[in-house]
Amino acid sequence: MSRARLSDIVLSLTGRDRGQLMLVVAEEGDFLLLTNGRARRAENPKRKREKHVSRQGACDERTRLKLEEGGRLTNSEIRKALALWTGDEDNI
C-alpha cells in the first residue's frame, strides 16, 4: 500500500467518518488534514494519522497543482475533485 500524501484521495477507516472519501489538503507531521467539503468543511479539516486511512488515488491535476502551490481550496472545489474521481459529477 502506498503512502498517502498531499492531494490524494483517501478512505477513512476509523471514527465517525469511517467509509467516507476525503481529500488530503495538508500534512502536519504524522497527521494528514482531510476534508470532503461537505460534512468536513475546508475551514475545519480533520486531523488523522495516516494509518487510519487508505489511499485510494490521486485527485485531478488542477486540484493537485493548486494545493502544491500553497493555494486553499473552497468546499465546492473539494466536492468537485471528489466527484471527478468517483465519476459522480452529476451529484456535486
pLDDT digits (tens, 9 = 90+) for 12-65: 999 999 999 999 999 999 899 999 999 999 999 999 999 999 999 999 999 999
35 vs 24: CA distance, rounded Å: 7
Q: Which residues contact 78 (CB under 8 A, 6 or more apart)?
A: 23, 25, 35, 36, 37, 42
C-alpha cell at 68: 502544491
Element (H, E) at 64: helix 61-68
Q: Pairing state of beta strands 8-12 and 53-58?
A: antiparallel
Global model pTM greater than 0.85: yes
Report the amino acid identity of residue 80.
K
**Local structure of 81: helix, strand or coil:** helix
